Amino acid sequence: MEVLKESVQYIKGIGPKKYALLNKLGIYTIEDALYYFPRDYEIWGDIENVASLTHGLESSLIVEFKGRPEVIRTRRLNIVKWTAFDETGELKCIWYNQPYRKNLYRWNQKYFVRGKIDKRYGETQVIMPFIEEYNPQKHDNPKIFPVYPLTKGLTQKDIQNVMRGALQKINNQIYDFLPASIRKEYRLAEKNFALYNIHFPKNKTTLNEARRRLVFEEFFFINMGLKLVKMKTQDQVGGIIFDLDEETISNFIAKLPFKLTDAQMRVLNEIFIDMQSGKTMNRLIQGDVGSGKTILAAIALYCAIQSGYQGALLVPTEILAKQHFQSFDRLFLDKDIKIQCITGSLTQTVKDKARQELKDGKIDIVIGTHALLEENIEFKNLGLIVTDEQHRFGVRQRAMMSSKGENPHMLVMSATPIPRTLSLILYGDLDISIIDELPPGRKPIKTYHVPPSIRGRVYKFVRKQVGEGRQAYIVCPLIEESDKIESVAAVELFENLKNGSLKGLNIDLLHGKMNPYEKEAVMEKFASGETQVLVSTTVIEVGIDVSNATLMVIENAERFGLAQLHQLRGRVGRGKHQSYCILIANARTREIRERMKIMVDSNDGFTVAEKDLELRGPGDIFGVRQHGLPEFKIANIARDIDILKLAQQGVDQVVNMRGNPEYDMVMEYIYREFNKKTSEIAMN
């Protein structure tokens, strides 16, 4: 619908200034406006009478004024106090520093009054009420008003005006992509009705109907979009069939320095089945930090090479690429397998050479960062793509990588613990395997929450651990000192510790602004055990695997999301020694204390994630956007689980409607819009 793309600046009353302010809220077009939903509603309840008012509650009344107002002047205040009444009693209306009020109201005129009721000194008062002439049409029905998130310079009235204008423009003509049969079955409101009533609900019922419909629509849209991606890959006949030689693979597994856990074996079998099914594998491996995903990636890549294909391992950071490179190098030491690392920091000459070899098929396994996605990286015969730490790569990146081969198999590994309900959304296009077991002998990490005041004791503990031959991480959230945010700066903390509390220890620094070579050197020294304490920003968050490190100290822990804290904590507890995680956090608020308690009480990523979700709803850490999916504008995954389930059911139903004209229309719409939305996200 063309009008949806029209600019809001053509709405009456919107000048360039207001337009710029609306832009700040992300509102440019009519469509943006319609999908800018109220954050809350103010409900003007039924009209009450004075005798039945309750202290402390917002109430609405119809009153008249009598006599003259009392005006009281103190040094600072001008108080106007005017007695109003209805047939049941008297109400004192009080205004501070609004002297004009004393002439504003007339006798024998009914007024609508609304405000918080205050019962004191034997009087019933309302302070600074909202007041306007009584208009039966307007005031006799309870009213609901939208309350929008604002920006400075805009008022609720302004935004309401925009919404009215936008709704007028669409004039109930928006295309409803949900088939009528689905709407009927799930008792969903029609789209135009829903948009109208989410902004200007007639009453609570229409508001609920509108909200329910829009939440369903959001879930349905994402789910169907992902389903389409999945169907597209499944429909392709001729997924690569790997020629797996059981003996070779068993031998390889038998020679590993450890025995695979049952969970690892189970997941591995699922992978083997996929690889021989004739369909393209699209599988997510979810496993908590430290559950041993890397080795599965290695075995899968080995299978690809055994079958004569090339494999690629896509990782989010340069440090991780290097680490995987080294461990693969050791793993395939006695094999004739060429492994190459491709990252942004390679010199042009090295990169060119690697590119050529990749294209010629001389390289078997390539491990790289986003640099691998570049258009000029080509393969001879790419058979398997593994992405590690999937939460850094979205739907789009996967598709980009995939287009470098002919339907290569895809394995996606994620440690970001995600409640199951949510993973159904984020990974609707993937089959899911879960490693629900840690390698044996791991001792649960002991987690403590301490106030900043006893930081000195924490450093003593660092010394003690180092004294026993172990290593420690100290993580701080920011690189540079900022006045506004009182985070401890890594550089400064490092200097302080080096010359103070941790003087004499081998202490080093790692942060995002260092160049890749510096980073690599620092990581190498830490991995080799030479560095005893590593002060770092969150660059170590994902993947790093140094099993002698047993202590993780996190400064300003309250600034991190729980999933992130769990990831960081997962850097320790990787070996046979008892590990510790110390969260230094100022417990200013109850919320902080609760969040820290969740960390202290649970070592399990899924539990942490569920609790986090309950506590604050899906926040940034589970940011749908990070996964390359559109953000939810109205749905709340924690609260709207029931609607989510219905929407998923609805999606399955529609998928089975193939052949029906409604089917084609939904598919066409979702295919187009979903692609548009995900590519917009990929671009910024």
User: Interface with ligand ADP by CB under 6 A: which residues?
Assistant: 258-261, 264, 287, 289-295, 415, 439, 545, 547, 574
Q: Between 442 and 625, name the residue whose CB sits nearer to ligand ADP.
A: 442
Cβ of residue 620: shortest distance to ligand ADP, in angstroms?
Answer: 22
Q: Between 325 and 459, name the residue whose CB sits nearer to ligand ADP.
A: 325
Cβ of residue 259: shortest distance to ligand ADP, in angstroms?
Answer: 6
**Nearest residue to the partner Mg ion, using Cβ:** 543
Q: Between 146 and 543, name the residue whose CB sits nearer to Mg ion.
A: 543
Q: Between 543 and 618, name the residue whose CB sits nearer to Mg ion.
A: 543
The interface partner of residue 477, options being Mg ion, ligand ADP, none and the CB cut-off 5 to 8 Å by kind, is none
Cβ of residue 596: shortest distance to ligand ADP, in angstroms?
Answer: 23
**Residues ≥6 apart with Cβ < 8 Å to 202:** none
The interface partner of residue 653, options being ligand ADP, Mg ion, none and the CB cut-off 5 to 8 Å by kind, is none
Residue 343, H or E segment: none
Cβ of residue 272: shortest distance to ligand ADP, in angstroms?
Answer: 17
Cβ of residue 413: shortest distance to ligand ADP, in angstroms?
Answer: 7
Instruction: Give the span between the Cα atoms of 162 and 102, in whole angstroms.
Output: 34
What CA dihedral angle connects 184, 188, 194 and 200, to 10 degrees? 120
Cβ of residue 542: shortest distance to ligand ADP, in angstroms?
Answer: 9
The interface partner of residue 394, options being ligand ADP, Mg ion, none and the CB cut-off 5 to 8 Å by kind, is none
The interface partner of residue 290, options being Mg ion, ligand ADP, none and the CB cut-off 5 to 8 Å by kind, is ligand ADP
343, 323, 399, 335: which is closest to 364 by C-alpha? 335
The interface partner of residue 545, options being ligand ADP, Mg ion, none and the CB cut-off 5 to 8 Å by kind, is ligand ADP
Tokens of 4: 């949806």
Instruction: Give the span between the Cα atoms of 569 and 479, in whole angstroms.
Output: 20
Cross-strand pairs, 81: 70, 94
Instruction: Give the span between the Cα atoms of 620 and 624, in whole angstroms.
Output: 8
Q: Between 326 and 547, name the residue whose CB sits nearer to ligand ADP.
A: 547
The interface partner of residue 224, options being Mg ion, ligand ADP, none and the CB cut-off 5 to 8 Å by kind, is none
C-alpha distances out from residue 393 to 71, 105, 267, 370, 428, Å: 66, 63, 22, 9, 15
CA dihedral over 421, 425, 430, 435, signed as positive or negative = negative
Tokens of 53: 């008012």
Q: Between 228 and 295, name the residue whose CB sits nearer to ligand ADP.
A: 295
Cβ of residue 569: shortest distance to Mg ion, in angstroms?
Answer: 14
Cβ of residue 286: shortest distance to Mg ion, in angstroms?
Answer: 12
Q: Between 543 and 605, name the residue whose CB sits nearer to Mg ion.
A: 543
390, 234, 372, 259: which is closest to 310 by C-alpha? 372
Residues that bind Mg ion (CB under 5 A): 543
The interface partner of residue 289, options being ligand ADP, Mg ion, none and the CB cut-off 5 to 8 Å by kind, is ligand ADP
The interface partner of residue 367, options being ligand ADP, Mg ion, none and the CB cut-off 5 to 8 Å by kind, is none
Instruction: Give the span between the Cα atoms of 166 and 181, in whole angstroms.
Output: 28
Q: Between 60 and 294, name the residue whose CB sits nearer to ligand ADP.
A: 294
Q: DSSP of 215-269, one letter per residue?
A: HHHHHHHHHHHHHHHHHHHHH-S-PPPP---HHHHHHHHHTSSSPPPHHHHHHHH
Instruction: Give the span between the Cα atoms of 639 and 130, in whole angstroms.
Output: 33
Label residue 543 left, alpha or beta by phi (over 0 means left) and psi (-120 to 50 means alpha).
left
Tokens of 46: 């039924």
Cβ of residue 575: shortest distance to ligand ADP, in angstroms?
Answer: 8
Q: Between 35 and 606, name the residue whose CB sits nearer to Mg ion.
A: 606
